[in-house]
Amino acid sequence: MQMMTRDVLLDMEQEEDDDEDGDIGDVPASSRPFLRTHTLPSGRALENFDQMVLSSFGTLESQQDLRSPQFEEFNGKPDSLYFNDGQRRIDFVLVYEDESRKETNKKGSNEKQRKKRQAYESNLIHDGLQLEATRSVLDDRLVFVKVHAPWEVLCTYAELMHIKLPLKPNDLKTRSSAFGNFTWFSKVLQVDESIIKPEQEFFTAPFEKNRMNDFYIHDKDTFFNPATRSRIVYFILSRIKYQVRENVKKFGINKLVSSGIYKAAFPLHDCNFSCPSEDFSCPNERYLLYMEWAHPRSIYKKQPLDLIRKYYGEKIGIYFAWLGYYTQMLLLAAVVGVACFLYGFVNRNNCTWSKEVCDPNIGGNIVMCPQCDNLCPFWKLNITCESSQKLCIFDSFGTLVFAVFMGVWVTLFLEFWKRRQAELEYEWDTVELQQEEQPRPEYEARCTHVVINEITQEEERVPFTTWGKCIRAVLCASAVLFWILLIIASVIGIIVYRLSVFIVFSAKLPKNFNGTDPIQKYLTPQTATSITASLISFVIIMILNIIYEKVAIMITNFELPRTQTDYENSLTMKMFLFQFVNYYSSCFYIAFFKGKFVGYPGDPVYWLGKYRNEECDPGGCLFELTTQLTIIMGGKAILNNIQEVLLPWVKNLIGRCRTVSGSEKISPRWEQDYHLQLMGRLGLFYEYLEMIIQFGFVTLFVASFPLAPLLALVNNILEIRVDAWKMTTQYRRMVPEKAQDIGAWQPIMQGIAILAVVTNAMIIAFTSDMIPRLVYYWSFSVPPYGNHTHYTMEGYINNTLSIFNIADFKNRSKGNPYSGLGDHTTCRYRDFRYPPGHPQEYKHNIYYWHVIAAKLAFIIVMEHIIYSVKFFLSYAIPDVSKSTKSKIKREKYLTQKLLHENHLKDMTKNMGVIAESIIGAIDNNLRPKLE
């Protein structure tokens, strides 16, 4: 039979490429071992290619219109995972819309898409995959192409991808219960092993076809589990070409899906999540995961990590293992945080400085200077009574203890997680995973430049030269910097809003001094400004997140990383940098800038030359920082959970309503999965990002909000089950992927842990009033600076508020600025300056320099103590436990020994056969002569 190459057929096309396809680069044959020239029998016209694919395996020989057989031809099994013959397993499903039934006038475009799809499917068949197509039961425009990888294809690509497969059962892995003798407690928290049975462990080695007899092939149908089969098929689908024009090859299922040639490509779930399958060949793992992992009644149980890893792959398994471990560690932090909060709550009535603020004879007689020009009134100190009482809860000695504790806690969490991660690497057989990763198809497609490899001294192809790489790096860095500056500009906009609105609130809110008005009592200008600014900041953060997500992906695509791990790590760093500035910048402003550079009433400092800088309440900005954290952290958690639950559920509900249209037909498994939502390859990336941002809130600003770990704990308990629910019920099954660890998120958390020590020390020193109070208690409450005979906090408020002469105002309006002041000729403000009439009036006094010295000393001492403890813990706790190291070495030794012994046996057997043949030949030659 004559053969015509698909390349020649494609080169015969005269149409120009559509923009939707886009070039993906020249792919030299030497650098693309998978993009081979595939053939198609010339006796088949392209128009009949769909029928040829179907009839190649005897599925639709008599159905020339591609109409699917009735449901009875599926043997009445909607959860069937096999071709119509019931023998070949469906490893992947491709979905497209039949162009002949589209209601569109773009015939040329439809014809071009059809030819590309036909070329792609032809090349899939040539590469060894088997295809079977059927029409949708509910929508006859949809065609489902089921893909099966035969044994020979699986073996070939398993060797190519260095996939580790079983050699023999492993008798070293013995798992002991973490609960010791508390078996009753263990049974309550852990999944019942009679429901989810433990997986058998094996010694493994990278697969080699020529040593196939060394592997534990008990059954060819189960030797490659469904996750491995799907991973191999996806590897092939990602590297098969569909068009060649002017030496530019276009390939990969991702490109075909993004351009609309295929509507979807996915592996199948194994059954319905709500009930077990009646098909005995279905393993029902999805149903088990839903009942024992995603169902609300299992919220208190430990996660079945081995089954998660088996069903979804190591990459998803390591995420849930990390999230579960992080949640467990949060339990300890939450307990200590609640204890510190209760300590502050119980002792809030013992705050002497708060009592003085609320005392009508002290705070009620202190007239405070206006905090803005012209419009802002004078005000009495006691109107801040409520906020000062709340501040006592958070600004207490317990805050200091908790900040030190969290500095140690974060180190313990990271170090023990490394040990747990090492255990999972051994148990899930990903210790040497880095040897398996292949270049991304997008990277390989751009390899047009020849360079000399420094290690092998051989020619290899790269996407761009060193100079081109430098140019791309500069452009990417410039783009990142530009968008970060744009985020900072939005933060400046919020600051300007705060300054402007504060003037409005100061003019509109009640100005009377009696302190009995409930609005004035609870809604001060500072509080109103803080709450509204925090809400607006939260809304802007959510909007910017949507924009920066797309920008980070565009920059990373332009950067063109080599492997998928490199791609995700690069995207991770960019997205986290964006999110870090976006989420935390407003908190940094309140904690370290607001109220720090305001001057004094007679000579204030102006922002942008127009707006007078904000001042903190007399108690400090700590309570405002707490408010900001509560709104952003709580609002983010609530919004994310609502989105994760409602959005996929509503989309699936709408999809089912549109699709079913009153039909009572039962759809097969591939059609049910098609109408689920697509999670995407970056779906897990956003889950990590959400948790890392939360980790930053829990650690960076925890000194101002000791309840942050408790909020994070409650959120994470729900997050685990919500993620599990949406993965098992609302999303298509993701392509299983290998992963050795959590990737770039580990160094990011380590960086946050180091920064957290500095931020918490500075919050206590510069944001809270703890250091000024301690300085007053130990130095300025007694002689020579104070008048008390013993150490006390009495007189703290009067001592720490400076005096200003009203006649020295420069920018007050000439209208009647002093109405309501009575006999008062002075006002007070928050600072440590000499009073009017002093030789150094309005200059910083000795108290100020004592406080500054104490703050710097506190930061240095606290940082050195915590960093020393962190260093000691990091050194004392090895990343890999001794037992795990021994198991890894032992398994490697036994694996090599097993392979070596089998190799020797084969050599001995072959030598014996050769020796027998030689002896036989000699005997045959000598016998006639001797006779």
Q: Considering only 156-165, 334-343, 494-503, 773-782, which range has the smallest mean pLDDT?
A: 494-503
Give one DSSP letter per residue of 359-386, joined into a string. Answer: -TTTGGG-EEPPSSSSSPPPEEGGGGHH
CA distances to 139, 146, 746, 877 from 47, in Å: 22, 20, 53, 66
Please confirm whether the linkage preceding 267 is cis (ω < 30° from 0): no
What six digits make up the tokens of 482?
């530009």
Looking up tokens 């979807």 gives 264
How many CB atoms are located within 10 Å of the residue 881 CB? 16
Whole-number Å distance between alpha carbons of 7 and 163: 31
Residues in the chain: 931
Q: Assign 405 a pLDDT band (cuts: 50, 70, 90).
A: very high
Rounded CA-CA distance 137/128 in Å is 28
Q: What is the per-residue pLDDT across 457-491, written as a single tens digit (0 to 9) for each?
A: 666 666 766 777 788 888 888 888 888 888 888 87
Q: How many Å apart are CA 521 and CA 526, to the nearest integer?
A: 12
pLDDT interval class at 851 (50, 70, 90):
very high
More confident residue, 415 or 482: 415
Contact criterion met (CB below 8 Å) for 372 and 503: yes
Parallel, antiparallel, or unpaired for β 367-368 and 379-380?
A: antiparallel
Per the CB < 8 A criterion, the answer to whether 610 and 382 are in contact is: no
Tokens for 463? 């996407």
Using alpha carbons, list the distances in angstroms from residue 811 to 508, 807, 906.
Answer: 20, 11, 98
168 with 203: CB under 8 angstroms?
yes
874/871 Cα distance (integer angstroms): 5
Angle at 689 between CA 293 and CA 715, to 5 degrees: 50
d(CA 33, CA 8): 19
> What share of the chain has pLDDT > 90, as a percent?
24
* Cis peptide preceding 784, ω within 30 of 0: yes
Question: Sheet containing 367-368: which strands, arranged edge to edge?
Answer: 379-380, 367-368, 826-830, 801-805
**Could you give the CA distance from residue 677 to residue 651 in angstroms, rounded to a whole number?**
8
- For the record, the structure tokens of 909 come out as 């057997």
Q: Would you tell me how many other CB atoms lie within 10 Å of the CB of residue 185? A: 12
For 570-604, what is each residue's pLDDT tens digit? 888 888 888 888 888 888 888 888 888 888 888 88
- Which of 208-222, 290-304, 692-706 shows the lowest mean pLDDT across its residues? 208-222
Q: Is residue 704 a contact partner of residue 622, using CB atoms and an 8 Å limit?
A: yes
The CB density around residue 462, as the number of other CB atoms within 10 Å, is 18
Nearest-angstrom CA–CA distance, 885 and 873: 20
Tokens of 44: 């088949």
Higher pLDDT residue, 673 or 536? 673
Cβ neighbours, 10 Å, residue 718: 16
Q: How confident is the model at residue 802 (pLDDT cuts 50, 70, 90)?
A: very high
Split at pLDDT 50, 70, 90, the class of 511 is very low
pLDDT value, residue 335:
95
Q: Which residue has the higher pLDDT, 423 or 494?
A: 423
Contacts 24+ apart (CB under 8 A), 422-426: 422/879, 422/880, 422/881, 422/884, 423/881, 423/884, 424/305, 424/317, 424/318, 424/321, 425/740, 425/741, 426/884, 426/887, 426/888, 426/891
Contact 592, 762 (CB under 8 A): yes
pLDDT at residue number 34: 35
Mean pLDDT of the chain: 78
Specify the 3-state DSSP secondary structure of 31: helix
Task: Please check whether residue 614 is in contact with residue 494, taking contact to mean a CB–CB distance below 8 angstroms.
Answer: no
Q: For residue 669, which amino acid is it? A: R
Q: How many helices (H) and strands (E) does the chain have?
A: 28, 20
Return the residue matching tokens 């600025």.
817
Question: What confidence score (pLDDT) does residue 504 get?
Answer: 72
DSSP assignment of 808-849 equals G-SS--SS-TTTT-TT--EEEEES-BPPTTSTTTTSB-HHHH
Q: What is the largest CA-CA distance in the chain?
A: 145
Return the structure tokens found at 438. Answer: 């292949």
For residue 237, pLDDT beyond 80: yes
The answer to whether 777 and 793 have CB atoms below 8 angstroms apart is: yes
Which of 402-416, 546-560, 617-631 is predicted with the least confidence, judged by mean pLDDT?
617-631
Q: Distance (Å, rounded) from C-alpha 666 to C-alpha 818?
A: 82
């509503």: which residue's tokens? 650
| Contact present, 367 and 828 (Cβ < 8 Å) | yes
For every residue of 683-734, which 3-state class applies, written as one string? HHHHHHHHHHHHHHHHHHCHHHCCCHHHHHHHHHHHHHHHHHHHHHHHECCC
Q: Where would I find the H helices in 560-621?
A: 564-592
Average pLDDT over residues 743-752: 91
Q: Which of 782, 742, 658, 486 is nearest to 138 (CA)?
A: 658
* pLDDT digits 0-9 by tens, 12-52: 333 334 434 433 333 333 333 333 333 333 333 333 434 43
Tell me if 367 sits within 8 A of 787, measured CB to CB. no
pLDDT for 262 equals: 92
Residue 32: both structure tokens together: 């693309």
Higher pLDDT, residue 453 or 337: 337
Give the separation between CA 313 and CA 735, rounded to whole angstroms.
8
- What whole-number distance in Å separates Cα of residue 868 and Cα of residue 18? 61
Residue type, 810: K
pLDDT in tens, 640-685: 878 887 887 887 777 666 555 444 457 888 988 998 888 877 778 8
Tokens of 674: 């098609």
For residue 528, the model assigns a pLDDT of 73
What does the DSSP 8-state code read for residue 24? -
Specify the pLDDT at position 508.
62
Here the tokens at position 844 are: 């910083």
Higher-confidence residue: 510 or 126?
A: 126
With residue 451 as reference, give the H or E element that holds it.
strand 449-452
Does the pLDDT of residue 907 top 70, yes or no? no
* Distance, C-alpha 124 to centroid of its chain: 34
Instruction: Give the number of other Cβ atoms within 10 Å of residue 895's Cβ.
Output: 17
pLDDT at 850: 93
Q: What does the DSSP 8-state code read for residue 89?
A: B
**Per DSSP, what are the bridge partners of residue 828?**
368, 803
Give the C-alpha separation, 703 to 395, whole Å: 9
Residue 45: what pLDDT? 35
pLDDT at position 416 is 94
Confidence of residue 795 (pLDDT cuts 50, 70, 90): confident
User: Tens digit of pLDDT for each residue in 187-228?
Assistant: 667 777 777 877 778 888 888 888 888 888 888 888 898 999
Say what the pLDDT of residue 926 is: 62
Q: For residues 706 and 688, what is the distance between their CA atoms, to the nearest angstrom?
A: 23
Mention every residue, 6+ apart, whose C-beta is less than 8 A from residue 658: none
Cα gap 324→719, rounded to integer Å: 10
Rounded to whole angstroms, how far apart are CA atoms 188 and 881?
28
> Are the beta carbons of 277 and 82 closer than 8 angstroms?
no
| CA angle in degrees (0–180, nearest 5) for 774-777-778 | 85
